[in-house]
Structure 1
């Protein structure tokens, strides 16, 4: 008995077992790399561990009535290179002290030899009791496999467990578990860094089917499900291929990282792409090619998982005589699900492939499709060929799908999920699962488009008017809203082809509109929207909206209010559809300001009226009267402010500044005031003090030290030589209560500005992982504005803590004055625009020097 043997015996056993595991693992890895086959590796590692555990089990001489049992993935002989080893120590009676001590020593030895053990110690009755309480325990035990010990005890356990399992209830529990898992992973397999095991479309979806099949006694292989008519033999073969691909991904991830890592992080995607033989193209990285293959695999897994789960539901809860309500000669309603009258419907009537989605939109009682409809649709998608696409009836059907009052987004998503969109729109096929490594999109191209379509559609629904009232008013009154849906479908459809995707997408959009019989006016609108879908966001976020020339140029671009409204709706939906982190209320306000100014100009307002300067002053005065300030109170301050100030600030801001400053226009002390932003999230900060050249730099350093990012900066110098600077600050983590910081910020910043202390130099922060793997080459452009009065400096770079401080420091060093800053942060990418002036800017050599210095500071 090993527990009474000298320590040297333990050391010898540990050394021998460690060497056996190491040598066996290396041999398995070498064999896999020479001939990548999943079964020999997964089963081989299971058998290797079996042998080692069995030797130790025998050495510890546990009671003859006990058994060593493999459970979970180890139990089904799918032991991945770095997976943990799940064990059940099975006993016929509760453990005595001696056996318990011996078992503790043995488990410790398992860890000593390098095995990551997950274990439980139970009697048969305890196993059954725990299985009743916890579905995950029952699932693990279903895959139990005897490694060593008492065969009779293990057989009794298996019989008792089979008696315990209710297949129908087990199916319900696992379906709920899958729903919860999908929710944790945002119900999508298209995360840019998916988990190949847990995310929708991952290995867990396939394992779930296996568990349910075991519980029901349907077998343990895909071909067993085909024999039970739950899937076709072709589907069984396809499931096996999908499973192999995902197993290869997980195996290589474990080999690559040397640990149990199941996430396809950016850090690993390029290496995985090489291992899978993917090569870069002119327009796409190798990692993007590989990930598109992964997403397509995950999509097929979710499709077949859905079909099988529906089939399981019918098998476990049969309704021998379901009431079928005929809809037409092709479809019927069975248990609130759309059902084909027979499985040959799509072969006889190919247009029914589109009709079924239309029926789901039109009949609110339908909650989805039956399993046989989905299977028929899965096979029927291949009927959509060139002749199908040319058929006028099918084209009319597709347009009707976009023109319905309900279900537009849901059915487009369903059509994408089951590859109907890929067959009907050949260009769509190229963007399914295509990644976007631009550091602010968090969805693949097809999923981003679906998000944009969802956002547009949501604006059309009056029930959601409280979210964006102006947008909803514009959207609900827009004639033919389905034209914007078409523009949304095509706005990014040409991504990944190389070249300007906006221009390439215009041709696809025009071809679609002409083929589907849209008149020239509507065709021109859709084509224009696709071509210009980035224009409004670029103007709003990068140009000075207080500059009348900017508004006039934009008005000349849009030409009509119909175009303006449609572009506003599409742009709003597009930005919100990139990532939950990219959109914020400040971007919404910029878009709204540009829309309203352009709308006034298109409606015939005079230039100054278009910008609303007199209106802003009148509105600000009304607000001051509301706050109790007498007429004329504002005169002393406003006399020091020029037209540009009133153009750059809205009435509420003007009134706030005036209330804080009207009685201290010539103050010697810095005035710092902060408040929660009135129009969006974040904090508004106002600083008023005698101007100094390094003020912007000092403010950037202070804000960066507190961890804020600057969303907007308005730099203004009054006629009497004071700086009146306004900032919108955001907390990048969105975890801060802004009100809690107001007093602290006002006091600390005020004291800092009173002193002659040098500017706070922000500590360097960690770069986002995305930037490390998809670096942005920084660019600097300094050019005179159209009037020749100022210079415009454009900066594009990867965002990081202290970046603005470095820019401001360089400007101070060269004696450059900053008049305004337009800050645009797109995920991990910044695109900032500064209006500047200074004597150094009059010499080309000095501009080149400034640009070079800035590029050095921006390089990561």
Structure 2
């Protein structure tokens, strides 16, 4: 035991010294591979000592496999070893051997080696590898640490005889594809896995695995000698591999465990270990996060790895399966080869730089082309330096790029391919500035360039019949749109000025104005594109924050857009933009709000002046039709409608009015008829719930005597029950009753719809009748993203345009119970809520409330209210 303790102390001391070298290397990647090799060598030495002390006979072998077999060991990676047994020997039938193996493995752990072990003879190794490509890959990288060299040589020979390079290539490329799909096929995740994500270390390892299996080389220099890679490509691979290796090693050291994800919690610490600090950038005085500098560097490396991985794997595939397809000429510069665009000569782009953009125009205009050949990808990779200022200002190239934008099909794939090959950023220089740029707003889950391409994809889908079921209203509008490329151009530029300081909408409008002038886009079209870029946030803001029942809001918005063409274009861009931020941001309720705003505005633009009386009468007529369909008695609505004013009918559509009437009219009529009799009892509370007509969550109606803390009490119930409120319409009738409607969502819908509606109706009714003190708000844990990118809570309280009510707007990091805490403050000051719009943007909330109350007339009280709200949001 004393010997093991001594060995452990020596191993830990030497390992600490080696790890300190990795810590002290700063941003330099020069010595990272030798440092990890030294860690591997240290593990080898320790294993040899323990192997010798275990007393195995000379006919046994200790073999390093997997990542350890490559001869590089990351700080907290497993030490994977194989105890190779001679034929005819088995621990199952040899108690002494089993005891030695268990003792050896135990001593490894006691020494501080985190062992991953297997025990097999040669035949078992070969048999297992034939069944599992993961085992096959692990054994492919095996090397002898100690023991019988002849046994290991015999294994290598028999393993090589059974290894089918073609089958192995297919298995590894399928595995790579599945792995990329798991990470959404993008290297630009905001929390990438530097080992497994597209563009990570695993992509580089996959190249060497299939090359080694095909006996084409074991190193990057070998691939150069065999003609699979150029010297330039090998240098690029080595440089980017060293960066990714250093990032992964630093992640292990900072996390003090095996951690390969660049999670938000660790990004800043890793960045600071590279020497990055927060400082002003671009001369505009904006703080640039240290993590942002690191991640930009990571994304550029991952992008290069993705390109080179594709080039080299296609080259290896061509070696393993030489194409039998004769090239078919497309024109004098390009051929079609097995469905791929193939350059006619390796130096095409250097001789004819105009052919660079022509490549992507051909991709769009030739049916059946699936992508670019390895030869074309390599030629583009080596031609990046040609795309300079002169290239960008060339009239021929500008004409080609405009034609790429204006093609009826293929725009999404063409732009993605241009971004993957670095052509888009090289030609459109303002786009290059946002490639790999993170967005620290808890709203977007993609880098700026990937968000833009996602919005472009969404816009394109509006014009594709096979996607009409996703956005029916948008697809219907797109069907009548004459120039889709206008919308594509606006999508490409709408966020292109992010990160420069100032208003990115205004800066982006200047960029697109210059672009349109340079590319010969007609004035009328250019003005629409510029309008879309500068106003791309307006429609979303109004729909989610303003009172759409207010005719002045609609009239002002109609004046801002000017005409139906501009409105339709802005609506399509807004939907595409919100859908392109995060899978969690869009919901059916936001879709309805945007659709309502579009519909109300189109009426005004059509010359129909806002007329509240006419609107109310129209909604009443439509509601009566719906009531007749349910066989409601004649004038059954009268008892309820006599207590409702214009504001109610303006704020609710016909279907909601009909639903409220069906649920309440009988109770109200009965209470009216019994008024003044001994049996008279006032209505205490009526709660009804149904699946939301919008198609997501529940719609809940509450009818109960009004009281100052009613909104807070209802919010408290939903908070305790695990529901999130996305919209609330609060109305007080002329006879003193509250008639409130809530849109709520929960993760349990729709499977438990009936149980949930019953629970809400019963339990909320009981909560309102029993009264009692307001429950304490839930204190939910904030997410890792919120911890890493906290938002300073903001509160804005100002009178509306008519100075009759007050508009309260709050912004804060989202967490459980947040709305209820706001409602408690409002209840404390006896403020009644007329309208609540709850907008969750990723992990940030932007909520708006229309409120009334006597306390708001006093400046000192308003300051108190705002202060308490900020304290509640920050708690």
TM-score (norm 2): 0.95
What's 1:5 paired with? none
Task: Describe how 1:207-606 pairs up with structure 2 within 5 A.
Answer: 207-280=205-278, 281=280, 282-283=285-286, 284-319=288-323, 322-606=325-609
* Aligned 8 A contact 1:601 1:610 in 2: no
Which of 146, 152, 155 is matched with 1:154 structurally?
152
The RMSD of aligned alpha carbons is 1.5
Q: Distance in 2 between matches of 1:14 and 1:686?
A: 72
Q: Distance in 2 between matches of 1:788 and 1:378?
A: 62
Which of 807-816 and 278-287 deviates more? 278-287
Q: Deviations over 1:287-346 (max 9, x none)?
A: 112111111111110000010111011010013x53111111111111111111111221
- Structure 2 SS opposite 1:45: helix
Instruction: State whether structure 2 residue 763 is matched by structure 1 residue 760.
Output: no
Q: Distance in 1 between matches of 2:312 and 2:526?
A: 42
Distance 1:16 1:181, change over 3 A: same
What's 1:33 paired with? 23
- Structure 1 SS opposite 2:586: coil
- Structure 1 SS opposite 2:667: coil
- Structure 2 SS opposite 1:719: coil
Q: CA deviation at 1:754?
A: 1.3
Q: Deviations over 1:624-663 (max 9, x none)?
A: 1112213312121111111111121122211111111111
What's 1:699 paired with? 714
Q: CA deviation at 1:368?
A: 1.2
Which of 620, 623, 640 is matched with 1:620 structurally?
623
Task: Describe how 1:119-130 pairs up with structure 2 within 5 A.
Answer: 119-130=117-128
Instruction: State whether structure 2 residue 800 is matched by structure 1 residue 806.
Output: no
* Aligned 8 A contact 2:548 2:554 in 1: yes
Which of 843-852 and 391-400 deviates more? 391-400
What's 1:70 paired with? 64
* Aligned 8 A contact 1:42 1:80 in 2: yes
Q: Distance in 2 between matches of 1:619 and 1:393?
A: 59
Distance 1:732 1:25, change over 3 A: farther
Instruction: State whether structure 2 residue 48 is matched by structure 1 residue 45.
Output: no
Q: CA deviation at 1:736?
A: 6.5
Which of 82, 104, 125 is matched with 1:88 structurally?
82
Q: Distance in 1 between matches of 2:113 and 2:351?
A: 59
Q: Deviations over 1:781-818 (max 9, x none)?
A: 11111111111111111111111111111111111111
* Aligned 8 A contact 1:354 1:394 in 2: yes
Q: Deviations over 1:511-567 (max 9, x none)?
A: 001111111111111111100000000000011111111111111110111110000
- Structure 2 SS opposite 1:518: coil
Q: Distance in 2 between matches of 1:308 and 1:645?
A: 66
Which of 162, 171, 174 is matched with 1:164 structurally?
162
What's 2:114 paired with? 116
Q: Distance in 2 between matches of 1:241 and 1:734?
A: 50
What's 1:3 paired with? none
What's 1:721 paired with? 736
* Aligned 8 A contact 1:688 1:723 in 2: yes
What's 1:6 paired with? none
What's 2:675 paired with? none
| Structure 2 unaligned spans of 5+ | 672-681
Which of 637, 641, 657 is matched with 1:638 structurally?
641
- Structure 1 SS opposite 2:808: strand
Q: CA deviation at 1:101?
A: 2.2
What's 2:677 paired with? none
What's 2:105 paired with? 107
Distance 1:568 1:609, change over 3 A: farther
- Structure 1 SS opposite 2:661: helix
Q: CA deviation at 1:609?
A: 6.7
Q: CA deviation at 1:611?
A: 8.9
- Structure 2 SS opposite 1:333: strand
* Aligned 8 A contact 1:462 1:476 in 2: no
Q: CA deviation at 1:703?
A: 0.7
What's 2:812 paired with? 797
* Aligned 8 A contact 2:697 2:750 in 1: no
- Structure 2 SS opposite 1:620: helix
* Aligned 8 A contact 2:431 2:496 in 1: yes
- Structure 2 SS opposite 1:818: strand
- Structure 1 SS opposite 2:307: helix
Which of 623-632 and 78-87 deviates more? 623-632
Q: Distance in 1 between matches of 2:786 and 2:49?
A: 49
- Structure 1 SS opposite 2:684: coil
Instruction: State whether structure 2 residue 139 is matched by structure 1 residue 141.
Output: yes
Q: Distance in 2 between matches of 1:404 and 1:41?
A: 52
Q: CA deviation at 1:612?
A: 4.1
- Structure 1 SS opposite 2:413: helix
Q: Deviations over 1:574-633 (max 9, x none)?
A: 000000000000000000000000000000113027994333222221111112213312
TM-score (norm 1): 0.97
- Structure 2 SS opposite 1:562: helix
Distance 1:737 1:404, change over 3 A: farther
What's 1:820 paired with? 835
Which of 337-346 and 174-183 deviates more? 337-346
- Structure 2 SS opposite 1:824: strand
- Structure 1 SS opposite 2:383: helix
Distance 1:678 1:313, change over 3 A: same
- Structure 1 SS opposite 2:536: coil
Which of 656, 660, 668 is matched with 2:663 structurally?
660
Q: Distance in 1 between matches of 2:749 and 2:66?
A: 40
Q: Distance in 1 between matches of 2:164 and 2:158?
A: 12
Q: CA deviation at 1:114?
A: 2.6
Q: Deviations over 1:673-714 (max 9, x none)?
A: 111111131111111111111111111111111222111111
* Aligned 8 A contact 1:597 1:612 in 2: no
- Structure 2 SS opposite 1:194: coil
- Structure 2 SS opposite 1:495: coil
* Aligned 8 A contact 1:71 1:141 in 2: yes
Q: Distance in 2 between matches of 1:58 and 1:31?
A: 30
Q: CA deviation at 1:14?
A: 2.6
Q: Deviations over 1:80-125 (max 9, x none)?
A: 0000111111001333222112212221222223322211111100
Report how many residues are paired: 849
* Aligned 8 A contact 1:191 1:444 in 2: yes
- Structure 2 SS opposite 1:544: coil
* Aligned 8 A contact 1:461 1:476 in 2: no
* Aligned 8 A contact 1:792 1:834 in 2: yes
* Aligned 8 A contact 1:546 1:611 in 2: no
Q: Distance in 1 between matches of 2:200 and 2:750?
A: 31
Q: Deviations over 1:419-460 (max 9, x none)?
A: 111111111111000000100100000000000000000011
What's 1:8 paired with? none
Which of 693-702 and 621-630 deviates more? 621-630
Q: CA deviation at 1:347?
A: 1.9
Instruction: State whether structure 2 residue 27 is matched by structure 1 residue 59.
Output: no
- Structure 2 SS opposite 1:715: strand
What's 1:671 paired with? 686
* Aligned 8 A contact 1:65 1:91 in 2: yes
Q: Distance in 1 between matches of 2:72 and 2:549?
A: 64
Q: Distance in 2 between matches of 1:311 and 1:479?
A: 43
* Aligned 8 A contact 1:811 1:817 in 2: yes
| Structure 1 unaligned spans of 5+ | 1-10
